[in-house]
């Protein structure tokens, strides 16, 4: 199958889009692929940013940085020229702290909020906070910085698109009805009906205090009071970020493997995108096993191995080595047959204009050579 239409499609995506979102389950090389896409776009002259979730140490070394964090780090010019790439790794608690610092000008109010134990739980443990901050950082990068292209490596969650409705879930958790119920009132000019309602709320809080503990309720009231006025801003930014994800200048790239489990996950992901009125611009089948150059059914004899080792000083048991090599060859052939079946299904799902096949690399992406190899595998037809 010629991959030229798919390569042309990906080239156009990197040249014209403002946002590329890499989605897929964990363990398929999604983070590495996202970094490679940003570098490939930079080499075409674009000013890029890549926001990743959990890059391996070897990948950070390959990108030429010792440690990635929330602040942009420029990749070495010799890796990305003539364009540029700023790389970041999402650290949700720190990112939330920095967001609060920008949104709350009063230092005393900020410190009160940071010291609140409920805030600490929400910042570090509340389900959806990590996904929300990924969307928040996306908002910041696209709207507040002058990047030609932003590549987002999404969290490897059970549902790889959880980040899409994270703003909705966070907004629901901090709904006006809930926050008004717990927020302290300071206006003495409220009407009779409102004061009756406030009194009812106080009674309810007393009941909750007996059930959950007075200290917890006091922490909750203090948190909501200190956080007051920010809930609407969180919701507004989340809505804007969601619109960015749905903008025609944004594209989704599904990264998958070719084994049956990964193909099934990619198919389900494609259906989820369709339910959200979104469509994958490209499918990248990563780490695909090629058929061995020698027929696995051919018998690899000890004589064959001995001839191959001729001239090399060795005390290796030739018969054992021959058996091991034959077994490895058979396994590789089985993996290649399995991947061919998976690729056939992905071709049905994606079509020839959207499916790119990246072969299994000999080594991990741990140096610049491996990054170049990965980019070449994505953009050079075989």
pLDDT at position 182: 44
Distance between CA atoms of 241 and 142, rounded to whole angstroms? 9
Q: Nearest-CA neighbor of 131 among 103, 99, 153, 101?
A: 153
Distance between CA atoms of 140 and 102, rounded to whole angstroms? 12
pLDDT of residue 153 exceeding 90: no
pLDDT at position 193: 35
Q: What is the pLDDT of residues 154-180, one digit of tens each?
A: 876 555 566 676 656 655 655 555 445
User: Which one is the CATH code of 4-183+228-292+333-379: 3.20.80.10, 1.10.357.10, 3.40.50.300, 3.40.960.10?
Assistant: 3.40.50.300
pLDDT at position 66: 73
pLDDT at position 69: 81
pLDDT of residue 253 exceeding 90: yes
Q: What is the pLDDT of residues 98-110, one digit of tens each?
A: 888 887 878 887 8
The two structure tokens encoding residue 189: 């000019």
Q: Nearest-CA neighbor of 46 among 88, 82, 75?
A: 82
The answer for residues whose C-beta is within 8 angstroms of residue 190's C-beta and 6 or more apart is 198
Instruction: Yes or no: say if 1 and 235 are a contact pair by the CB < 8 Å rule.
Output: no
Largest CA distance in the chain: 100
- Which of the two residues, 8 and 130, has the higher pLDDT score? 8
The two structure tokens encoding residue 371: 């990054």
pLDDT of residue 329 exceeding 80: no
Instruction: Yes or no: say if 281 and 252 are a contact pair by the CB < 8 Å rule.
Output: yes
Q: What is the pLDDT of residues 208-251, one digit of tens each?
A: 444 444 565 666 666 666 666 676 777 777 777 778 888 999 99
Distance between CA atoms of 62 and 83, rounded to whole angstroms? 18
């Amino acid at each position: 199958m010629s991959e030229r239409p798919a390569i042309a499609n990906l080239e156009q995506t990197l040249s014209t889009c403002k946002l590329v979102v890499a989605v897929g389950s964990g363990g398929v090389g999604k983070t590495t692929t996202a970094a490679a896409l940003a570098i490939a776009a930079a080499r075409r002259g674009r000013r890029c940013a890549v926001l990743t979730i959990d890059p391996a140490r070897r990948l950070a070394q390959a990108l030429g940085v010792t440690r990635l964090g929330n602040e942009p780090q420029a990749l070495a010019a010799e890796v990305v020229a003539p364009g540029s790439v700023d790389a970041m790794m999402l650290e949700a608690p720190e990112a939330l702290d920095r967001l609060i610092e920008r949104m709350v000008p009063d230092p005393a109010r900020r410190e009160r909020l940071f010291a609140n134990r409920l805030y600490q739980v929400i910042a570090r443990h509340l389900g959806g906070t990590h996904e929300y901050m990924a969307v928040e950082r996306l908002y910041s990068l696209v709207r507040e910085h002058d990047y030609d292209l932003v590549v987002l490596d999404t969290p490897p969650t059970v549902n790889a698109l959880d980040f899409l409705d994270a703003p909705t879930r966070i907004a629901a958790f901090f709904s006006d009805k809930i926050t008004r119920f717990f927020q302290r009132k300071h206006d003495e000019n409220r009407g009779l009906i409102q004061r009756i309602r406030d009194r009812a709320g106080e009674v309810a809080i007393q009941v909750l205090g007996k059930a959950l503990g007075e200290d917890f309720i006091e922490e909750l009231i203090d948190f909501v009071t200190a956080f007051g006025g920010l809930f609407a801003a969180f919701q507004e930014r989340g809505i804007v970020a969601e619109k960015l994800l749905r903008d025609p200048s944004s594209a989704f790239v599904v990264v998958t493997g070719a084994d049956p489990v990964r193909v099934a996950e990619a198919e389900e992901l494609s259906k989820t995108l369709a339910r959200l009125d979104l469509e994958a611009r490209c499918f990248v089948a990563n780490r695909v096993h090629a058929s061995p150059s020698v027929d696995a059914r051919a018998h690899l004899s000890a004589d064959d191995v001995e001839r191959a080792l001729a001239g090399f000083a060795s005390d290796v048991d030739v018969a054992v080595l021959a058996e091991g090599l034959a077994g490895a060859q058979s396994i590789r052939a089985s993996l290649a047959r399995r991947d061919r079946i998976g690729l056939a299904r992905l071709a049905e799902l994606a079509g020839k204009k959207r499916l790119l096949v990246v072969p299994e690399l000999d080594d991990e992406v741990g140096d610049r050579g491996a990054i170049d190899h990965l980019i070449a595998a994505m953009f050079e037809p075989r």
